[in-house]
Amino acid sequence: MQVKLETGPVSEANSDALVVLGFEGAPPQGPAAGQIKEFYDSGEFSGKALEIAVLHHPTGLNAKRLVLAGGGKRDKFTAAELRKLSGAVVRSLKSKGIHGIALALDEPFRSDDFAAAAVEGAVLADLENDRYKTDPKKNEKHVDSLTVLGGSQAAIERGRILAEAQNFSRDIANEPANVLTPTVLAGHAKKMASEFGLECEILDQDRMRQLGMGALLGVAQGSAEPPALIVLRYKPAVASSSNDHLGLVGKGVTFDTGGISIKPSDGMEKMRYDMAGGAAVIGAMRAIAQLKPSIPVTALVPTVENMPGSKAQRPGDIVTSLSGKTVEVLNTDAEGRLILIDALTYAKRLGCTHLVDAATLTGAIVVALGSVNIGAFTNDEAFLEKFLVASKAEGEKTWQMPMDDEYKELLKSNFADLHNIGGRSGGSITAAWFIRDFVDDTPWIHLDIAGTAWLDDAKPYMAKGATGVGLRTFVRLAETW
């Protein structure tokens, strides 16, 4: 999608459709105000959130159509709401064969945050998960151009960069597991790094064995597909005055059968998205490379396939992690935490001073928070507060979960330093505690995105499938460090 900024009068915008915001209550003023008022008076449009109405042949406008886009209550309208609304408009209009859209932002919605959000929503909404469909007309169902009336060029460009990076992540996470193996995921990361000027290192199985990554390799041993540890490095052009170094770690299980502790067959096909955290981290680095924050950022993605082969890890096996601590594996379906602990330990060895990991880790977080909020866990309240400010600004809802010491007691093992599950109760919390035991005092945030990384049904503003959740917050965290 081509995205551009225009600063001329709204009435002169030349497009297939001119979109104006309408809120509950009084109709918006400006060109075609009389016709808009008729829509309000008749009840065809009331301004409710995500409501859309199309007025053909509007008076006083160059545009062929005037589209009213409902923002709900004006005093509660945020950049996050505009992101959704812009997406809903694009998905609605492209289904009608409209390829060129102009979006008018009136005061007080002409700030950079609103302009960037408008672009993000539109670009995200244009992605369709139809790569493997043979419909010859599928390429016609896209918007070719978006013109934003309001904001700055820098904001428009930032929105485009973020949305394209998020779509890159979504595309990867939507790939079927027969196409996207750990080796292929590493290839995507390497190609992206070369294109955007990042350093990339891929640790293979032999190198991980030399280092002693027994937890990661234990998960991978049941699959014919070799594992990899992807390392992406961004270094600012001017060295930072502080020693802070942000580490982003994303779970990269390209398919999760559960291993010997095999999952139920119902819904297992979705386990291709078990690398959504890794995809979000790789996509975040794509945006970071272009937006160039002042802090160095290193991303690590441990990527494996968890299969119940003849060499698969067994319940009761004991592995030695990179940190030297031992783990009794009671459940092979609690594999994500095992690959994360070796990646986090390695991130510390690479000099990362602050760590954020993202993983589709537990079904328990879905029970607790549904598909609305990311579950966040931390050992450093100040660091989490900084993260929450970034997540709120980006409209990625995040809820802090407890980390009381009593939960750690559930991980005690009779045969090793700890075991990898803590029982049915508080499953997302004990999973976080397991990971926390390996980061020691390093400021750390764990994000359980199991409920937010995938849409089971299409939304008005986004297609069914991977969401790319977390990416925008990672980027803003780095930008505002």
Task: Identify whether residues 40 and 83 lie together within a single domain.
Answer: yes
Paired strand residues for 358? 250, 447
Angle at 385 between CA 451 and CA 169, to 5 degrees: 40
193-217 residue pLDDT tens: 999 999 999 999 999 999 999 999 9
Among residues 242, 244, 161, which one has the least CA distance to residue 477?
A: 244
Residues 109 and 193 in one domain: no
Give the residue from 102, 120, 151 where a domain finishes: 151
The per-residue pLDDT for 64 is 92
Domain membership of residue 157 (yes or no) is no
CA distances from 306 to 220, 242, 253, 389 (A): 6, 40, 7, 35
Same domain for 142 and 229: no
Alpha carbons 28 and 32: distance in angstroms, whole number: 10
| Domain boundary pick from 119, 151, 183 | 151
pLDDT at 3 over 90: yes
Answer whether residue 350 is part of any domain: yes
Residue 60: how many other CB atoms lie within 10 Å: 13
Residues taking part in catalysis: 263, 337
Residue 4 has pLDDT above 90, yes or no: yes
CATH of residue 119's domain is: 3.40.220.10
Alpha helices in 321-465, H assignment, sequence order: 336-349, 363-369, 381-393, 405-408, 427-439
Copy the structure tokens of residue 54: 């199309």
Nearest one of 128, 319, 370 to 209, comparing CA atoms: 319
Residue 339 has pLDDT above 90, yes or no: yes
What are φ and ψ of residue 101, in 5° steps? Answer: -130, 135
Q: Do the Cβ atoms of 262 and 345 come closer than 8 Å?
A: no
Round to whole Å and give the CA distance between 190 and 169: 14
pLDDT of residue 139 exceeding 90: no
End-to-end alpha carbon distance in the chain: 31
Give 7's pLDDT tier (boundaries 50, 70, 90): confident
CB-CB neighbours of 318 under 10 Å: 15
What is the per-residue pLDDT for 179? 98
CA distances from 78 to 84, 213, 331, 394 (A): 10, 45, 43, 10
Distances (CA, A) of 278 to 186, 267, 275, 449, 478: 10, 21, 5, 11, 17
Q: Which two tokens stand for residue 432?
A: 């976080």
**Residue 203's closest CA among 282, 301, 273?**
301
- How confident is the model at residue 8, as a pLDDT? 84
For 252, the token pair is 């990269």
Same domain flag for 53 and 189: no
Residues ≥6 apart with Cβ < 8 Å to 445? 355, 356, 357, 376, 377, 378, 380, 383, 384, 387
The total domain count for the chain is 2
Give the structural domain span for 172. Answer: 162-479
pLDDT at 311 over 80: yes
Percentage, residues of the chain above pLDDT 70? 100
Neighbours of 376 (CB within 10 A): 20
Show the tokens assigned to 259.
């291993």
Q: What is the mean pLDDT of residues 5-12?
A: 88
Residues 6+ apart with CB under 8 A from 35: 55, 58, 59, 66
- Residue 173 in this model has a pLDDT that exceeds 90: yes
CA atoms of 467 and 459, how far apart (whole Å)? 11
Is residue 386 included in any domain, yes or no?
yes
Q: Are residues 62 and 96 in the same domain?
A: yes
If you average pLDDT over residues 359-379, what whole number do you get? 98
CA angle 35, 82, 454 (to 5 degrees): 130
Say if residue 215 is in the same domain as residue 339: yes
Task: Examine the fold and report which residue of 151, 171, 204 is the final residue of a domain before the chain moves on.
Answer: 151
Q: What is the pTM of this model?
A: 0.96
Based on the fold, state whether residues 249 and 378 are members of the same structural domain: yes
List, as one string, the DSSP characters of 236-269.
Answer: -SS--SS---EEEEE-EEEEE--TTSPPPSTTGG
CATH number at residue 432: 3.40.630.10
DSSP SS3 for 432: helix
User: Of the candidates 209, 389, 359, which has an alpha carbon nearest to the alpha carbon of residue 276?
Assistant: 359
Does 186 share its domain with 101? no
